[in-house]
């Protein structure tokens, strides 16, 4: 069954259109926030990530964000700039810090994630739009 980009299918129709009996569904952070409340919001994840006060935490503050990906990208970009300026030591530090942010995000998500799929409630909270 060919589906146009503008056609919206129900979940059941989408599963049937795959032609397979067993499927896996990967949902993004938006669904997690809708389902689990603010525990998956970046601000909450930053509180639970285990990053100590210091330069990496200051990057979040200076950029005015709770967005881990934005901070990682900024650190990776800074590493490239340091290479352009010939400072390989500083470049490596920025790359190591970007990796630390990634690991901190993984740690935080693991801390707030339901232990098993059965911990996810059947009903969804009402949207306040």
Q: How far apart are CA 100 and CA 106, in angstroms?
A: 10
- Could you read off the pLDDT of 28-67 as tens digits, one per residue? 666 666 666 677 788 889 998 999 999 999 999 999 999 9
Q: How far apart are CA 109 and CA 113, in angstroms?
A: 6
- Could you read off the pLDDT of 80-91 as tens digits, one per residue? 999 999 999 999
Q: Say what the alpha-carbon torsion angle 77, 78, 84, 89 is, to the nearest 10 degrees.
A: -130
Full-model pTM: 0.67
Residue ranges of domains in the chain? 38-119
Tokens of residue 78, six digits:
């800074």
């Amino acid at each position: 069954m060919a589906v146009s980009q503008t056609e919206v299918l129900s979940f059941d129709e989408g599963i049937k259109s795959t032609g397979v009996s067993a499927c896996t569904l990967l949902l993004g952070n938006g669904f997690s926030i809708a389902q689990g409340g603010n525990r998956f919001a970046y601000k909450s994840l930053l509180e639970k990530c285990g990053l100590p006060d210091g330069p990496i935490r200051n990057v979040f503050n200076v950029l005015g964000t709770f967005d881990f990906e934005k901070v990682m990208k900024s650190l990776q970009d800074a590493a490239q700039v340091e290479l352009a300026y010939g400072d390989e030591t500083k470049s490596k530090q920025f790359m190591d810090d970007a990796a630390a942010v990634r690991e901190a995000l993984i740690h935080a998500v693991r801390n707030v994630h339901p232990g098993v799929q059965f911990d996810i409630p059947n009903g969804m909270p009402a949207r306040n739009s």
